[in-house]
A and B are shown apart, each in its own frame.
Chain A
């Protein structure tokens, strides 16, 4: 039998989330999907729907308001999935680092597989990152991986997994809730 596994990376669907970015990286991401760079030749579709996507493209330094949504979207993506932090803000917080309303990059909340630096990162870099992400996607097992920065166990509510308050602020006490 020939190996079907290699076709698995041929259809990565993207969910793009702006976690408080200045829109610079977002424009570049959209540029990747445009005719000039044409990400669709790798089978990429920008679905905008976590339940059908494989690659999570996050831009921005994660403001407090976006924190819970970020985790919510991440948990709503079915395994296997890859997270790509696009832009310096998403990687490290960049110039917003240590501001009163901003976290230091997305990897405090969800596991990141590929970091794409740059302010804003260029389309070539993003494509490179996505292609790298595809390799990781191929390697990933089907086993559900827990985000390492989620401190609480997900509770169930009428048989439905409730992840409402799954994201706590770093350093916040678990027992508080």
Chain B
């Protein structure tokens, strides 16, 4: 048994185990299993050979085809049941295209499974961060009012998701990739619709049809690649592809844009907020959306010239636009959601640039974005469960009520923008690699501007929220709530991962040692000073309000995007995608 096959199969088996049994047994087994998974994915990077290949037998292929047909017909059935015409049309389209693809499918000659370095890193992200989120979900789902089976089913579904994700990052066959792509769509459909109320069902269907567009794009890419290059393998396709005929790459890139919820496909990820918070956490950090940059990384060697520039420009534009939209939001999870979209777009554009430095930056972003976002979503869950807070405008003065949660939120946001955290290093290297490209092609100047504007808007956004936590509010009277260990321990683990990230970047010398140590000391100094220097003897005074004495309730600045602006943002990104397709066709 190779490590990757354990990583793929064992969560599947465990998902079945979890379905039965009471909460305590389930929790204990889950924690042990998650530790095992993480250890294995860590060991995979450290001990086993980096690259391994496997050719699956014919039986497996037939099984996959069968599974695929079942999934597609399930989508069709869901579409018919809920009378959603788009789902029906897209499902039918996929069934037809898939039929054509399997009849044309060439002889299978290369390895179906190809585990390389990027896959190993993805295992790490998926299993460690995903595992931590599942541990968190154990407690979270217990506080919801569902039947025992449904609660267990939720955990089982998350494990199934992990298995699918582990598989998708190991496959080399685009047909299998398509199946797994559809399976993640299925997972997200079920998890988003988990609450089974009106909004959930609506948003689940939205997620379904948007992701189906991605499925169609993959099928088109598959068809073109079979017709033109007679192959269904990533590695062969990338090796033999003609620079002047990049159509399959472009369609795969569009599938990535859909999975990455890039504007104009952003609505499904935002709609996913209605599901229980662990679902958002796992969708945003470890699984699902991470397929997008992963796919881009896989395609990176084949991208060149026009495609590379266009994808980079679209990506950086979406980065800027999504942060701008996030700035106009007030719902905590929505802010996190749009910043995920932004960072994913950035990762994709970095992968499209394709220089070694850009690839490194992209991988760094994938890893540490997962950790930071997971940390933040866990806090969002705690805020909802323990404090019944959803909106940023309500959270002011939280520092007086729960120092721990505030600390986690601040670290989460700081790690997405400030030195010396991983995401910062990723962004830093992004600017460096774009400026190197700028010497080759002047059009990258727009990418640079979008990136610079986007990162400063992002800072504005994050510190608007953080400032709100500090801002004192006389009205807020929260009860003292003991936060469950199931909530705090996963957060601490993620925190440790963040600092391990700093250690890695220290060791790999992404930045010089002084560049890492100085901000680290400065940032670590703050909590130390906060807890030691209380100024007990200092003279306290009220704030200066022109001699007025009434306590004031202060709001934060409000940024408003007009309908026209949001529409034109979507329009620009759609035009960008069209230019990409048409440009390649010409």
Residues of A within 8 A of B (CB): 17, 49-51, 68-70, 72-73, 75-76, 78, 159-164
Top 7 closest A-B pairs, CB basis? A69-B547, A72-B547, A160-B540, A73-B547, A164-B549, A161-B540, A76-B541
Choose from A50, A69, A161, A162 the contact partner of B539 (Cβ within 8 Å): A161
Q: Which residues of B contact A159 (CB under 8 A)?
A: 540
With the chains together, A76 CA to B546 CA distance in Å? 10
Q: Is the CB of B541 within 8 A of A49?
A: no
* A–B Cβ pairs within 8 angstroms, 21 of them: A17-B547, A50-B544, A51-B544, A68-B547, A69-B548, A70-B547, A72-B547, A72-B548, A76-B541, A76-B542, A76-B544, A78-B539, A159-B540, A160-B540, A160-B541, A161-B540, A161-B541, A161-B542, A162-B542, A163-B542, A164-B549
Per-residue A-contact encoding for B509-548, CB less than 8 Å = 1, 0 else: 0000000000000000000000000000001111010111
* CB closest residue in chain B, given A75: B541
A75→B547 CA distance, assembly (Å): 10
With A68-B549, A72-B549, A164-B549 known to touch, is A49 a contact of B542 (CB < 8 Å)?
Answer: no
**Which chain A positions have C-beta within 8 A of B542?**
76, 160-163
Q: What is the number of residues of chain B that contact chain A, defined by CB distance less than 8 Å?
A: 9
Contact of A69 with B540 in the complex, beta carbons under 8 Å: no
- Extra 5 A-B pairs, beta carbons < 8 Å, given A72-B547, A73-B547: A72-B549, A159-B540, A161-B539, A161-B541, A161-B542
Q: Which residue of A lies closest to B548 (CB)?
A: A69
Question: In the complex, which residues of chain B have a beta carbon less than 8 angstroms from the beta carbon of A164?
Answer: 549
Q: Which residue of A lies closest to B545 (CB)?
A: A72
Nearest CB in chain A to that of B547: its residue: A69
B549 / chain A contacts, CB cutoff of 8 Å: 68, 72, 164
Residue of B546, B547, B549 with most chain A CB atoms under a 10 A cut-off: B547
What chain B residues lie within 8 Å of A49 (beta carbons)?
A: 544
A161 vs B540: C-alpha distance when bound (angstroms): 6
Residues of the B chain whose Cβ atoms lie less than 8 Å from the Cβ of A50:
544
- A33 to B: closest C-beta gap in Å: 20
CA distance A162 to B539 in the complex (A): 12
CB distance from A101 to the nearest CB of B (A): 18
- Residue in B closest to A49 when the chains form the complex, CB atoms: B544
Q: In the complex, how many angstroms separate the beta carbon of A52 from the nearest chain B beta carbon?
A: 10
Q: Mark B328-354, 1 if CB is under 8 A from A, else 0.
A: 000000000000000000000000000
Docked CA distance A51–B546 (Å): 11
Within the assembled complex, what's the spacing in Å between the Cα atoms of A159 and B537?
10
Give the distance to chain A from B143, nearest Cβ to Cβ, in Å: 33
Shortest C-beta distance, B214 to chain A (Å), equals 55
Contacts of B548 in A (CB 8 A): 69, 72
User: How far, in angstroms, from A68 to B546 measured CA to CA in the complex?
Assistant: 11
Most B-side CB within 10 Å, residue of A50, A69, A72:
A72
- Closest A residue to B534 by beta carbon equals A159
The answer on a CB contact under 8 Å between A69 and B546 is yes
Task: Write the nearest CB–CB distance from A66 to chain B, whole angstroms.
Answer: 8
Report the nearest A residue to B542, measured CB to CB. A160
Interface residues of B in 122-170 (CB under 8 A from A): none
Q: Which residues of B contact A68 (CB under 8 A)?
A: 547, 549
Please give, as numbers and ranges, the residues of chain A lying within 8 Å of B539 by CB-CB distance: 78, 161
Q: Chain B residues near A69 (CB, 8 Å)?
A: 546-548
Cβ of B544: which chain A residues have Cβ within 8 Å of it? 49-51, 76
In the assembly, what is the distance between CA of A173 and CA of B416, in Å?
Answer: 59
Q: Which residue of chain A is the closest to B549 with respect to CB atoms? A: A164
Name the CB-closest residue of B to A50.
Answer: B544
Mark each residue of chain B from 542 to 560: 1 if its CB lies under 8 Å from any CB of chain A, else 0.
1010111100000000000
- Which residue of B has the minimal Cβ distance to A51? B544
Query: Using Cβ atoms and an 8 Å threshold, which residues of chain B touch A160?
Result: 540-542
Cβ of B544 to closest chain A Cβ, rounded Å: 6
Q: Can you list, as one digit per residue, whether each of B308-319 has a CB less than 8 Å from chain A (1) or not (0)?
A: 000000000000
Specify which chain B residues have a CB less than 8 angstroms from the CB of A70 in the assembled complex: 547
Residues of B within 8 A of A76 (CB): 541-542, 544
Complex Cα distance, B542 from A163, in Å, reads 9
Separation of A73 and B548 alpha carbons in the complex (Å): 9
Chain B residue nearest in CB terms to A70:
B547
Which residues does chain B contribute within 8 Å of A73, judged by CB atoms? Answer: 547
- For the complex formed, measure the closest distance between the CB of B457 and the CB atoms of chain A, giving whole angstroms: 32
Q: Please indicate the chain A residues that have their CB under 8 angstroms from the CB of B540 in the complex.
A: 159-161
- A123 and B549 alpha carbons, distance in the complex (Å): 33
Whose C-beta in chain B lies nearest to the C-beta of A17?
B547
The interface residues of chain A lying within 8 Å CB-to-CB of B546 are 69
Give Cα distance in the complex from A163 to B548, angstroms. Answer: 11
Closest B residue to A162 by CB, please name it. B542
B539 to chain A, nearest CB (A): 7
Q: How far is the CA of A72 from the CA of B540 in the complex (A)?
A: 14
Chain A: which residue is nearest B535 at the CB level? Answer: A159
Docked complex Cα distance between A164 and B549 (Å): 7
CB distance from A6 to the nearest CB of B (A): 27
Bound Cα distance A31, B72 (Å): 83
Separation of A84 and B539 alpha carbons in the complex (Å): 25
With a cutoff of 8 Å between Cβ atoms, the chain A residues found around residue B541 in the complex are 51, 75-76, 160-161
Nearest B-chain residue to A69, judged by Cβ: B547
CA distance A70 to B549 in the complex (A): 12
CB distance from A122 to the nearest CB of B (A): 28
Residue of B whose beta carbon sits closest to that of A52: B544
The interface residues of chain B lying within 8 Å CB-to-CB of A163 are: 542
Q: How far is the CA of A49 from the CA of B546 in the complex (A)?
A: 9
